[in-house]
Structure 1
Amino acid sequence: MYSIEEINISNMIVHILDTNLSVPVISMDEMESNYEIKEFFANHIVKTLNDDSIKNCEFNTDYNMVYTYVKEFASAEDKFIDMSINIANQLFSIMSSNLDIPSADLAIINFSCRSNRYLALLKLNYTNSFIHYTEVENESNINSIIRHRTTLPNMGQKINEAVIIDLSNLDLKVLEKKYEIDGNKEYYLSMHLLRCKTTLSSKEQYNIVKKATDSISKKYFDEDVEKKMEIKQELYNNIEETGEINLDKFADDVFKNNIEVKKEFIENLEKKGLEEPVVTLSEKTITRSFEKQRIKTDNGIELKIPMELYNDPNNIEFVTNPDGKISILIKNVNKIIQ
Structure 2
Amino acid sequence: MSVSISRAILHILDPSLGVPVLSENLMSFNEEMREYTEKHILKCFNDSDLKKTKFINEDGFFLKLINEYRDNSEFKKFTNEVSEFFYKTISENPDIKPCDLLFVQANVFNKDYMVILKLNYKKGYIHFTKQEEGTKNIIIEQPCALPSATQKIDECIFVDINTLEVFVKEKKCQVYNEPSYYISKYLLECKEEKPDKEKVKIITDTTDKIIKEYYDDDMLMKTKVKNIIRENVEDSLNINVAEISEQVFEDHEIKKVYDEEIKMKGLKEPEVKVNFNYANKIKTKQKIVTDEGIEINIPYELISDKNKVEFITNPNGTISIVLKNIDNIIDK
TM-score range relative to shorter protein: 0.7 to 0.9
CA shift digits 1:229-282 (9 cap, x unpaired): 434333333334444322333333333x53333333222222222122222333
Structure 2 distance, partners of 1:67, 1:122, is 18
2:184 matched residue in structure 1: 190
2:139 pairs with 1:145 = yes
Paired residue for 1:68, among 42, 57, 64? 64
2:7 pairs with 1:11 = yes
SS at match of 1:198: coil
Paired residue for 1:327, among 296, 314, 320? 320
1:91 matched residue in structure 2: 86
Structure 2 distance, partners of 1:205, 1:334, is 37
1:206 matched residue in structure 2: 200
1:225–1:318: 8 Å Cα contact kept in structure 2?
no
1:234–1:254: 8 Å Cα contact kept in structure 2?
no
Gaps of 5+ in 1: none
2:172 pairs with 1:178 = yes
Q: Would you say how many aligned residue pairs link Structure 1 and Structure 2?
A: 329
Structure 2 distance, partners of 1:50, 1:36, is 21
Q: 1:66 to 1:233 in 2, by over 3 A?
A: closer
Structure 1 distance, partners of 2:86, 2:219, is 52
Q: 1:182 to 1:200 in 2, by over 3 A?
A: closer
1:212–1:269: 8 Å Cα contact kept in structure 2?
yes
2:36 pairs with 1:43 = no
Q: Structure 1 segments of 4 or more deviating over 6 A?
A: none
1:267 matched residue in structure 2: 260
Structure 1 distance, partners of 2:141, 2:323, is 51
Structure 2 distance, partners of 1:263, 1:320, is 30
Structure 2 distance, partners of 1:110, 1:126, is 23
Alignment of 1:24-43 (within 5 A): 24-43=20-39
2:223–2:286: 8 Å Cα contact kept in structure 1?
no
Deviation at 1:312, TM superposition (A): 4.8
Paired residue for 1:232, among 222, 226, 229? 226
Gaps of 5+ in 2: none
2:97 pairs with 1:102 = yes
SS at match of 1:28: coil
1:81 matched residue in structure 2: 76
- For residue 269 of structure 1, what is the amino acid of its counterpart? I
Deviation at 1:314, TM superposition (A): 5.7
Paired residue for 2:297, among 283, 305, 309? 305
Q: What TM-score do the two structures reach when normalised by structure 1? A: 0.86
Structure 1 distance, partners of 2:219, 2:86, is 52
Structure 2 distance, partners of 1:229, 1:97, is 46
2:120 pairs with 1:125 = yes
Structure 1 distance, partners of 2:103, 2:65, is 13
1:19–1:99: 8 Å Cα contact kept in structure 2?
no
Q: 1:208 to 1:6 in 2, by over 3 A?
A: same
CA shift digits 1:13-46 (9 cap, x unpaired): 0001111111011101110133332222222222
Q: What TM-score do the two structures reach when normalised by structure 2? A: 0.88
Q: 1:228 to 1:118 in 2, by over 3 A?
A: closer
Of stretches 170-179 and 278-287 in structure 1, the one that deviates more from structure 2 is 278-287
Q: 1:219 to 1:39 in 2, by over 3 A?
A: same
Structure 2 distance, partners of 1:58, 1:137, is 59
